[in-house]
Amino acid sequence: MKSVLITGGAGFIGSNLIRFLIDKYKDYRIINYDSLTYAGNLSNLEKISNKNYFFVKGDICDYSLVKKTFEKYKIDTVIHLAAESHVDRSIKDPLSFAQTNIIGTINLLEIARTFWGKDFLNKVFYHISTDEVYGSLGKKGYFSETSSYDPHSPYSASKASSDHFVRSYKDSYALPVLISNCSNNYGPYQFPEKIIPLVINNIINKAPIPIYGKGDNIRDWLYVEDHIRAIDLILHKGLIGETYLIGASNEWKNIDLVKYLILETDKLLDREKGFSDKLITYIKDRPGHDIRYGIDASKLKNNLGWKPLFSFEKGIIETINWYLLNNKWLKNVASGEYRDYYKEHYF
């Protein structure tokens, strides 16, 4: 039996990961440690009723609460997802990104190292990171595990720094670590500040769809469930100390992506073809906007046998349908009403 601390488990990827692990590993003890920022929402996990699942409301920067949690649940595995994750917010408020993404990560590393002592047998600290640490590609080439770090936003700089700290704990203390850097995810439970749920939400509400610059920046999209399956594989079969890149070779120009979302969402809403085209609104570009991300995931594919199961067509339809069916969830997180509820219960 493993005792797994998942940080950021109430967020988009974390909640999808917890549901997957609880379903697949009935005997694992899963501890979801999350401070419930605007992006964390326990209704993402409300259908879980499992005696091996525990929630701790706490900040990863809180040394004494993280330490107590390690002691109480005898943590042997950490999957670290908690982060401030939105690039635009990082440009407005870089300090909170440095605090959570850098200091929070060091805090966890230090507690894992001291709590586990010298006995690192069957222990693992798995750090979930992003391809944005590698910066921006031109028309050709792909990121790989040997690409140089070249972050351009406070978000990606803070994630790059956290990656370096994780690696330093491997080299300085022999802490058993794993790192994966994934491309852009999409799917159910993503906060509607990120482009895909934001566009779906604005189509539903007939609101303007903001496109930075000319809309010709490129992102490499992966369905969240394929990311989760990669995390599962890396956790159980990955070589300790290694880094793995995750991506589905699914690059889309932002404007093409938005037009595709409009086409499919209008269809599902029974609107005439092209109805929502008029919502497209070009706005001032994001500062430091990376041109292109593209992943070479051959290490993960060749060494661990991973491959994505969702085509983009299938993943997008699942995603749009989920947001249409869960319009109450969407309205709730977009309005912030759920935060008042949590204030009553947890603050």
Stretch that binds ligand NAD, among 184-192, 273-281, 315-323, 338-346 (CB under 6 A): 184-192
Using CB under 6 A as the binding rule, whether residue 81 contacts ligand TDX is answered as no
Residue 76 or 132: the one with the smaller Cβ distance to ligand TDX is 132
Q: Which does 37 bind (CB under 5 to 8 A by kind): ligand NAD, ligand TDX, none?
A: ligand NAD
**How far apart, in whole angstroms, are the C-alpha atoms of residue 184 and residue 186?**
7
**Shortest CA distance to 109 belongs to which of 66, 69, 145?**
66
Determine the residue with CB nearest ligand NAD.
Answer: 11
Order across the sheet with 218-223: list the strands. 184-186, 218-223, 251-253
Could you say which residues in the range 72-111 bind ligand NAD, by CB under 6 A? Answer: 81-85, 100, 104
Residue spans of beta strands (DSSP E) within the chain: 3-7, 29-34, 53-57, 77-80, 124-130, 177-182, 184-186, 209-212, 218-223, 243-246, 251-253, 280-283
Does 27 qualify as catalytic in the annotation? no
Using CB under 6 A as the binding rule, whether residue 195 contacts ligand NAD is answered as no
Using CB under 6 A as the binding rule, whether residue 162 contacts ligand TDX is answered as no
Using CB under 6 A as the binding rule, whether residue 80 contacts ligand TDX is answered as no
Using CB under 6 A as the binding rule, whether residue 56 contacts ligand TDX is answered as no
Cβ atoms of residues 5 and 79 within 8 Å: yes
Residue 178 has phi, psi (to 5 degrees) of: -135, 145
Residue 274 or 287: the one with the smaller Cβ distance to ligand TDX is 287
Residue type, 81: L
Cβ atoms of residues 156 and 48 within 8 Å: no
Residue 52 or 96: the one with the smaller Cβ distance to ligand TDX is 96
**How far apart, in whole angstroms, are the C-alpha atoms of residue 50 and residue 295?**
36
Stretch that binds ligand NAD, among 6-14, 234-242, 316-324, 334-342 (CB under 6 A): 6-14
Among all chains, which residue has been given the structure tokens 């697949």? Answer: 24
Using CB under 6 A as the binding rule, whether residue 77 contacts ligand TDX is answered as no
Measured between alpha carbons, how far apart are the two ends of the chain, in Å? 33
Does 290 qualify as catalytic in the annotation? no
251: region left, alpha or beta (phi > 0 left; psi from -120 to 50 alpha): beta
Using CB under 6 A as the binding rule, whether residue 32 contacts ligand NAD is answered as no
Using CB under 6 A as the binding rule, whether residue 254 contacts ligand TDX is answered as yes
Binding site residues, ligand TDX, CB under 6 A: 85-87, 130, 132, 184, 194-195, 198, 210-212, 217, 219, 254, 286
Residues known to be catalytic: 131-132, 155
Binding site residues, ligand NAD, CB under 6 A: 7-8, 10-14, 34-37, 39-40, 59-61, 81-85, 100, 104, 128, 130, 159, 182, 184-185, 191
